[in-house]
Amino acid sequence: MKKIHYREWGIESPRYWGLLAVLATIVAVGGFATLYMEHQGHWVTGMTNQIVWGTPHVFAIFLIVAASGALNVASIGSVFGQKMYKPLARLSGLMAITLLVGGLIVLVLDLGQPTRLIVAMTTYNFKSIFAWNIYLYVGFMAIVAVYLFTMMERKANGYSHGVGVLAFVWRLALTTGTGSIFGFLVARQGYDAAIMAPMFIIMSFAYGLALYLLVLMFTFNTDDRPLGDALLRRLKNLLGVFVAAIFYFTVVYHLTNLYGTENHAYEAFILRDGGVYTWVFWLCWVLLGMIVPMGILFHPALGMQRGAITIAALLVVFGGLSAIYVIVIGGQAFPLNMFPGHTIIESGYYDGVDGLARAYSPSLPEFLLGIGGFALALLATFVGVRLLQFLPTSLADEVIDPHAAK
Amino acid sequence: MSEPIDKQRRAFLATASGAAAATAVAPGVFLHAVAQAAPRDSAVTDAVRYGMLIDTTKCADGCSDCVSACDKENGLDMLVKPEGASDALWDMQRPRWIRQVKLKNNLTGRVTTLPMMCQHCEKPPCVDVCPTGASFRRADGIVMVDRHTCIGCRYCMMACPYNARSFIHENVQLKPTAAPRGKGCVESCNLCVQRRDNGGTTTACQDACKQGAIVFGDLKDANSAVSQALAKYPSVQIRADLKLNTGVRYTDV
Ligand code: SF4
Ligand code: SF4
């Protein structure tokens, strides 16, 4: 491997500032939406006492899951010693932090009492996986920051491997922690499965890599930096494999659920009778989010076209948001099984009369808050690569791996 | 099925020190008195465990006296629909501490009506998951929310198997002193805790029920009305399979 040089992102100023202005506007709109929701109270959202976590949580969880996945590219280089991935590590670390910040901000701003965050930081209930997650998130950011430092500061290079391993282990814990938020909800049928944690890990691999690929291709393209076909082929194949793995886990998850009689009703709900959730599951999660991107990525011709890879990665992101939507909101819409063997025929509080789903329709402010978090993560990424040396000047095949070149 | 009170009591005492510690660290818990006319300045103890037995055979179809009484006692009726809110959505967003539920047995077709509320679990999932410890269980078995530390994350609502909790979705203008409330916090039935701490022996829902379907009292006192009733009639915990050892029991479900 030739010596890799890094340089700040060189996109021309007007385009750069234009891009920032667009993203900043989206962030600002999200901010106003938040102020509105916090000022009025949550009645202006679609969330209710039955669907307590709504669209903001879908975005927040997606971003947090993707954040740990974005670090994977760096881990493959440092932990698993794949030289080709080494030059990709800095951007990977940066995105791990920015995506996490974006997700956490959405999560915090949706709290009923966001100003009491200080309470959350000082009074801990150590039995709560939620409280543990606060440590996991903060620790993750700190470790990745140190990791970035060891990569970017020559004198500290020697520690890079060790810190990289730590970061990798930490990110596994983090994703497991995020998945466990659901795993602990014993009373909710859709969540009560051991497979949840590994499924979240594999989802994080795919969603993080998809976002990484998009940012990598975009920044390199706008800056006329060479991005080799061999490298791109590896990354897109990896993405294809991760999506295939989600596919596998999705199938196993639903099959094991079908195996246990007590979950039949839930399965029928998601797979057949759940209305919008069934549609989102089959159309958005399975078809557009997994089958189509796999078809593109593994297609001999399409799979090598950059435009097609971009579309595939975008679809994976879309499928990811849909998957989290089905899990988070579909899981709540399905009524609690309070009286096994009975049907609720009347209820003063939406207990799922006749087994019908509880209603939820996302509201605009919720959606704007979620999108705002997304925009914030991208904004921070673009500012980062502009100010500091995150991007290699070239990822041409002969630069990163002379032997791999055709 | 409810365990014999004695066995339950022993099991409870074993965990009592833990519960007491948890209560001690939860801020905002002070000066809560023990049942029956105890002074306000004595501490909450685990010598009692408050609970209820609901006799569903007595619960009358179409009656909602307990619901209105709870609304009144705890100021839920003081909340007004925010201007511009849709009726349907608001109905799903307004708080409810107790509600009527009507069930049909899938096999026999037998219909049962009963009130549902927080079941005051001995091992409450809502308390386990709460990141700040705002959800807590008092030594006397009452599970409630400390409104000063609740950050409104709603994780407890996700965890509760009984849909027992409500989030305050709107600005609160009027509130009773007995039940302070604020936008962005979660709340649920607290067995009329203000009455406990002022020496009262009943709950509002119990007082309101003309059929006498609700019996409230100390599960640990073998002579209390609720213990006597539990000893006499077969009763169940709702979702007993979750092993939460609920403090609210039902007959004939
Ligand atoms: S019924 Fe729900 S709110 Fe009440 S103690 Fe149990 S888990 Fe908590
Ligand atoms: S909403 Fe409040 S009481 Fe419920 S888990 Fe969050 S902080 Fe605890």
Residue A79 belongs to some domain of the structure: yes
- State in Å: Cα B90 to ligand 1 middle: 23
* Residues near ligand 1 (Cβ within 6 A): B 118-121, 124-126, 143, 160, 162, 164-165, 188
Cβ–Cβ gap B151/A117 under 8 Å = yes
Burial tier of B121 (Cβ tally within 10 Å: 0-12, 13-18, 19+): buried
- State in Å: Cα A107 to ligand 2 middle: 14
At B4, the pLDDT band (50, 70, 90 cuts) reads very low
Domain housing A217: 6-262+363-401
Residues whose CB falls within 8 Å of the CB of residue A355, separated by 6 or more in sequence, listed in order: A265, A335, A343, A344
**How do beta strands B248-251 and B50-55 pair?**
parallel
Mean pLDDT over residues B91-118, rounded? 96
- Token pair, residue A20, equals 């920032």
**How close A5 comes to chain B (CA, Å)?**
45
pLDDT at A84: 86
At B19, the pLDDT band (50, 70, 90 cuts) reads very low
> Tell me, what CATH number does A369's domain have?
1.20.1630.10
By the 8 A CB rule, do A77 and A83 touch? Answer: yes
Residue A229 half-sphere exposure toward CB, CA atoms < 13 A: 6
Question: What is the interface pTM, i.e. ipTM, of the complex?
Answer: 0.91
| Nearest residue to B235 (alpha-carbon basis) of B247, B222, B249, B245 | B249
pLDDT at B59: 95
Residues whose CB falls within 8 Å of the CB of residue B58, separated by 6 or more in sequence, listed in order: B211, B212, B213
Mean pLDDT over residues B209-230, rounded? 95
Cβ–Cβ gap B239/A340 under 8 Å = yes
pLDDT at A225: 95
pLDDT tens for the 406 residues of chain A, in order: 578 899 999 999 999 999 999 999 999 999 999 999 999 999 999 999 999 999 999 999 999 999 999 999 999 988 888 888 999 999 999 999 999 999 999 999 999 999 888 877 778 888 888 888 888 999 999 999 999 999 998 888 889 899 999 999 999 889 888 888 887 787 787 786 677 778 889 999 999 999 999 999 999 999 999 999 999 999 999 999 999 999 999 999 898 888 777 778 888 888 988 889 999 999 999 999 999 999 999 999 999 999 999 999 999 999 999 999 999 999 999 999 899 999 999 998 999 898 889 999 999 999 999 999 999 999 999 999 999 999 999 999 888 776 654 4
Cβ–Cβ gap B163/A349 under 8 Å = yes
Cβ–Cβ gap B185/A125 under 8 Å = no
Q: What is the pLDDT of residues B157-174, one digit of tens each?
A: 999 999 999 999 999 987
- Token pair, residue B169, equals 């979705």
* Other CB atoms within 10 A of residue B2 CB: 21
B248 Cα nearest atom in ligand 1: 1
pLDDT at A307: 96
What span, in angstroms and rounded, lies between the C-alpha atoms of A187 and A52? 15
Among A119, A187, A349, select the one facing B132 at the smallest CB separation: A119
At residue B55, does pLDDT exceed 90?
yes
- State in Å: Cα B47 to ligand 2 middle: 27
Q: Between vectors from CA B172 to CA B168 and to CA B173, what angle results, nearest 5°?
A: 165
pLDDT at A405: 44
Task: Give alpha helix (H) positions in A269-396.
Answer: 276-279, 292-298, 306-325, 331-333, 364-387
Instruction: Find out whether the beta carbon of B145 lies less than 6 Å from any atom of ligand 2.
Output: yes
Q: What are the residue boundaries of the structural domains of chain B, listed by start?
A: 48-251
Residue A279 belongs to some domain of the structure: no
Pick the residue from chain B with its C-alpha nearest to A52.
B154
pLDDT at B30: 37
At B41, the pLDDT band (50, 70, 90 cuts) reads low
At residue B37, does pLDDT exceed 80?
no
| Structural domains counted in chain A | 1
Residues whose CB falls within 8 Å of the CB of residue B29, separated by 6 or more in sequence, listed in order: B23, B44, B136, B138, B146
Tell me if the domain spanning B48-251 has CATH number 3.30.70.20: yes
Residue A114 belongs to some domain of the structure: yes
What span, in angstroms and rounded, lies between the C-alpha atoms of A50 and B32? 31
pLDDT at A402: 60
